[in-house]
């Protein structure tokens, strides 16, 4: 038996605003940041659990404060008990009635809980000597169902239905795991599409994306319609007819604006329209989906929890679900999201534009392929080539595919030297831009 | 010209969990708390702006941290500029792209912004020598519209429609203000209905509520159906036929449970069913509303922002809108909520079970009566007789009606001695219960 002896937090901020990487219609100057935690125990194995909340700068300190408050729930606790029943452990945090008032299940406190849950999964995966995707894909359907909080889901997905989905995917697990290890999992790249780039840079990055083996790109839109038309024309001409190009408005529009704007771009053959409006607006997304059909709507990087995803699916509002590893209540809630998507037959294409998000979310898509949806069809994981060098096990992209990570853990561990170098001191002065 | 010289915060927690006041199906042991701020300036008038976020204990420190982070936006700023255009001031915080990532517009950071906005309104009302309700009701329709962020609302309410609503209410303002001053605004009481009370106490408090002039009571439900049937029978027998009795499930149910449970209680003539399920579940509320019709659904104390309220109205999910003074982004966003309710013809019956919520939210209902909906029909403000003695201008209830406050300000100011006595030190030991 071992106990948790420390939860150390760090306010890590990379000065990405000094370049225009990551610039979109709503986020002109993000500083990609992480409210980061390390869980340590008194076990002789010396293993640690690492997790983080991704933010874009100001307020990262508030996320750190939220994680610090949660540390009180962890210190001194029996590690084997926590890790042995991660469903109960998740509920321990989610159902705390006083903390729940701060959401419920949304925003700063919910993301902090997610980071803690993810750090515990990281520790468990390291203890079992497996990458997280493989650990999750080795659980029985019953064990997976026990991880999910079905509260508020039962009108769309019951535990029995979830079990059916998981049992139906059981027979092919070994074969799909072999395929995953051989082929990897397809990625798409957002790197060409940031708003701050020149036309020349856009065209060059489109060519590079294709040369690198990516089979889809994405462009940020929504700041200026004429610019969007020009940039989409360049992208379409450079990539050629039929090459999948998605667009991303980052919540810029109201319902009528979204429909009109997308109509003006539809001639460019759009794969999906991402975040057309407020992430809270289920009915708005549904109205937009009807208005721009057959172009599908995609959203999720800001969907606060499984209850929003449930409704987006119930309302036929999305053609793609974009889970995020660090927005919801961690691995457990994302398993609920994967099961909901499978129930409604909607492909999951995770969001990963940020720091550490590619490293973290790939595990969920790979688990989905092996044990939930059983399919890679129509599914791609976002890839943005930012800041990977700060991670101990950075993602490996091979001809446009995420190679399945083999190192034990959940992928979130940052180099100690990066944490030290980019710990926030109140200004970016004297810092190098890390690209 | 004056500038903001300090923003002081306090973590104030009242040990209400030591009694069973405030105990409901989801919140068994709340410690009514306030993440409290005081804005001071270098003006010679010595006036201060007071505001708070209400929480129920753990995590109050995180709200304080969020307010502390916002202080950096305030220090050194020109007070007249901030107060003179409160629409722009609200957007200054709401549209900060980096802070927005922490929500957007929900949870810890959004509530903290609301507290700051409310503290600025408190300062402005004190400077103008008016209670907030009167200050707001003295603004022109154009000025009121300028306070509202219509982003994500335009499919349900445009600035032009808002202006029409406000103009239509303009002629009767003076007469309604006189009526308000003479009659007050009706309240209802939740005091009899907490789950922790004995049957005898329930019956006694029902009799007292009627004797005190209240024209509606509310009972907490959702923990045990047999108990709820017994408690509702006692309340109905004590209050008599036709006396309005609402019930409140505090988010306890999934959709099917809600419908079945309420059906089992419908014989007791229910005025509304409050918070039947997750506050995020617009479609769930709509399904419940259809399933329990003609009993109306009420919700809002946890509705994170105007976008959720918009959808609840669009989906015919609520018969009563329950705004909360300290949940959304402050006075400005609550004006949006009042306008949405007026557009859809739904009465607003604010939530006020907490600390300071009665003192704060009464201003919004009174403003609504004079300048927005123009009506008190079917409208009541919740009243819970907790902790009012800690406020400099506590609410005055007169024969079941809120008397219109006359003191300048927004009502949020707590006694300095209460702040000192109940500032959190890490435990309740040695504290008296304040009832």
Residue range A311-351, pLDDT digits in tens: 999 999 999 999 999 999 999 999 999 999 999 999 999 99
Give yes or no for a contact between B141 and B163, defined as CB atoms under 8 angstroms apart.
yes
Q: pLDDT tens digits, residue range A13-70?
A: 999 888 766 677 777 889 999 999 999 999 999 999 999 999 999 999 999 999 999 9
Query: Taking CA atoms, what residue in A is nearest to B106?
Result: A107
Residue A20 near chain B (CB below 8 Å): no
Residue B172 near chain A (CB below 8 Å): no
User: Is B62 in contact with A310 (Cβ distance < 8 A)?
Assistant: no
| Residue A409 in this model has a pLDDT that exceeds 80 | yes
- B58 CB neighbours in chain A (<8 A) are 69, 96, 98-99
Radius of gyration of chain A from Cα atoms? 21
Report CA A121 to chain centroid distance, whole Å: 16
Segment A111-127 shows an average pLDDT of 98
User: Is B59 in contact with A65 (Cβ distance < 8 A)?
Assistant: no
Pick the range with the lowest mean pLDDT from A21-25, A197-201, A387-391: A21-25
User: Is A254 in contact with B153 (Cβ distance < 8 A)?
Assistant: yes
Q: Where are the alpha helices (DSSP H) in B36-137?
A: 60-74, 79-84, 86-94, 97-100, 107-128, 132-137
State the pLDDT at residue B21: 66
Segment A281-299 shows an average pLDDT of 98
Segment A275-304 shows an average pLDDT of 98
Percent over 90 (pLDDT), chain A: 91
Second-level CATH architecture of A173-418: Alpha-Beta Barrel (3.20)
Pick the residue with more confidence: A429 or A385? A385
- CATH code of A4-131, in short, is 3.30.390.10
**Among candidate residues A425, A435, A331, A424, the one with its CA nearest the CA of residue A390:** A435
Segment B306-321 shows an average pLDDT of 98
State the pLDDT at residue B16: 87
Segment B334-344 shows an average pLDDT of 98
Identify any residues that bridge with B193 across adjacent strands, giving them in sequence order: B219
| Residue A241 in this model has a pLDDT that exceeds 50 | yes
User: Given this structure, which CATH class describes domain B4-130?
Assistant: alpha beta
Query: Taking CA atoms, what residue in A is nearest to B259?
Result: A155
Q: Give the pTM.
A: 0.97
CA pair distance B206, A261, nearest whole angstrom: 57
Give the number of other Cβ atoms within 10 Å of residue B6's Cβ: 13
In the structure, what pLDDT confidence band is assigned to residue A239 with cuts at 50, 70 and 90?
A: very high
A282-292 vs B282-292: helix axis angle to the nearest 10? 100
Segment B15-43 shows an average pLDDT of 87
DSSP-derived secondary structure for A67-124:
HHHHHHHHTT-BHHHHHHTHHHHHHHHHT-HHHHTT-SS-HHHHHHHHHHHHHHHHHH
What would the two tokens of residue B339 be? 């306008």
DSSP-derived secondary structure for A237-304:
HHH-TT--EEEE-TT---HHHHHHHHHHHGGG-EEEEE--S-TT-HHHHHHHHHHHTTSPEEE-TT--
Give yes or no for a contact between A382 and A324, defined as CB atoms under 8 angstroms apart.
no
Q: End-to-end CA distance of chain B: give it in Å, rounded.
A: 43
Give CATH 3.30.390.10 domain extents, chain A.
4-131
Give yes or no for a contact between A146 and A353, defined as CB atoms under 8 angstroms apart.
no
Q: Which residue in A280, A285, A326 has the most chain B C-beta atoms within 10 A of its own C-beta, making it the best mutation to test that interface?
A: A280
Q: How far is A118 from chain B (nearest CA, A)?
A: 18
Segment A147-176 shows an average pLDDT of 98
Q: Which residues contact A35 (CB under 8 A, 6 or more apart)?
A: A9, A10, A11, A12, A52, A53, A55, A60, A61, A63, A64, A66, A67, A112, A115
Instruction: State the DSSP H helix or E strand holding residue A34, giving kind and residue range, or none if neither.
Output: strand A33-41
Q: How far is A311 from chain B (nearest CA, A)?
A: 7
DSSP 3-state of B355 = coil
B279: Cα within 13 Å, side-chain hemisphere: 30
Instruction: List the single residue in B106, B155, B255 with the smallest CB-CB distance to A304.
Output: B106
State the pLDDT at residue B432: 47
Residue B220 among the catalytic residues: yes
In the structure, what pLDDT confidence band is assigned to residue B230 with cuts at 50, 70 and 90?
A: very high
Pick the range with the lowest mean pLDDT from A120-124, A192-196, A269-273, B43-47: A192-196
| Residue B301 in this model has a pLDDT that exceeds 80 | yes
CA pair distance B158, A126, nearest whole angstrom: 54
Prior bond of B104 cis (ω within 30°)? yes
Long-range Cβ contact pairs of A84-87 (< 8 A, separation 24 or more) = A85/A146, A86/A117, A86/A120, A86/A121, A86/A124, A86/A147, A86/A331, A86/A332, A87/A146, A87/A147, A87/A148, A87/A149, A87/A332
State the pLDDT at residue A193: 86
B405: Cα within 13 Å, side-chain hemisphere: 29
State the pLDDT at residue B20: 62
Prior bond of A294 cis (ω within 30°)? yes
DSSP-derived secondary structure for B191-219:
EEE-TTS-HHHHHHHHHHHHHTT-S-EEE
DSSP 3-state of B126 = helix
Q: Which of residues 315-334 of B touch A (CB under 8 A)?
A: 315
| Residue B195 in this model has a pLDDT that exceeds 90 | no
Catalytic choice (B220, B285, B363, B390): B220
Q: pLDDT tens digits, residue range B116-161?
A: 999 999 999 999 999 999 999 999 999 999 999 999 999 999 999 9
Segment B55-82 shows an average pLDDT of 96
What would the two tokens of residue A359 be? 């490293």
Place of tokens 């209902």: B365
Give CATH 3.20.20.120 domain extents, chain A.
173-418
Give CATH 3.30.390.10 domain extents, chain B.
4-130
Q: Which of residues 38-77 of A touch B (CB under 8 A)?
A: 55-59, 61-63, 65-66, 69
State the pLDDT at residue A434: 41
Across chain A, mean pLDDT equals 95
DSSP 3-state of A200 = helix
DSSP 3-state of A25 = coil
């Amino acid at each position: 038996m071992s106990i948790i002896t420390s939860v150390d937090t760090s306010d890590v901020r990379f000065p990405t605003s000094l370049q225009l990487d990551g610039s979109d219609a709503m986020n002109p100057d993000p500083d990609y940041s992480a409210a980061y935690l390390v869980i340590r125990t008194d076990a002789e194995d010396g293993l640690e659990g690492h997790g983080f909340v991704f933010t874009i700068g100001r307020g990262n300190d508030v996320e750190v404060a939220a994680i610090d408050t949660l540390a009180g729930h962890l210190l001194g606790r029996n590690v084997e008990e926590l890790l042995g029943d991660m469903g109960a452990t998740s509920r321990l945090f989610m159902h705390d009635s006083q903390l729940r008032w701060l959401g419920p299940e949304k925003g700063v406190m919910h993301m902090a809980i997610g980071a803690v849950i993810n750090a515990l999964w990281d520790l468990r995966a390291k203890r079992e000597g497996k990458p997280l995707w493989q650990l999750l894909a080795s659980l029985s359907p019953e064990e997976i169902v026990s991880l999910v909080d079905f509260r508020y889901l039962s009108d769309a997905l019951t535990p029995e239905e979830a079990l059916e989905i998981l049992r139906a995917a059981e027979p092919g697990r070994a074969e799909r795991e072999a395929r995953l290890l051989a082929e990897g999992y397809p990625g798409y790249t957002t790197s060409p599409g940031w708003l701050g780039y020149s036309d020349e840079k856009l065209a060059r990055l489109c060519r590079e994306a294709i040369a690198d083996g990516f089979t889809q790109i994405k462009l940020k839109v929504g700041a200026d319609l004429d610019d969007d038309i020009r940039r989409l024309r360049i992208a379409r001409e450079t990539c050629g007819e039929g090459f999948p190009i998605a667009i991303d408005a980052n919540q810029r529009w109201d319902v009528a604006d979204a429909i009109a704007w997308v109509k003006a771009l539809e001639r460019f053959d759009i794969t999906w329209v991402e975040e057309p409006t407020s992430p809270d607006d289920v009915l708005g997304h549904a109205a937009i989906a009807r208005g721009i059909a057959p172009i599908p709507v995609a959203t999720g990087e800001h969907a606060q929890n499984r209850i929003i995803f449930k409704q987006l699916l119930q309302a036929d509002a999305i053609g793609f679900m974009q889970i995020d590893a660090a927005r919801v209540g961690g691995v457990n809630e994302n398993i609920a999201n994967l099961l909901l998507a499978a129930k409604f037959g909607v492909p999951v294409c995770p969001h990963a534009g940020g720091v550490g998000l590619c490293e973290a979310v790939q595990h969920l898509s790979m688990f989905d392929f092996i044990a939930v949806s059983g399919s890679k069809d129509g599914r791609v994981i976002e890839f943005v080539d930012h800041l990977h060098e700060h991670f101990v096990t950075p993602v490996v992209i091979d001809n446009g595919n995420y190679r399945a990570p083999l190192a034990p853990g959940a992928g979130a561990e940052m180099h100690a030297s990066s944490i030290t170098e980019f710990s926030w001191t109140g200004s970016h002065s004297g810092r190098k831009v890390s690209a």
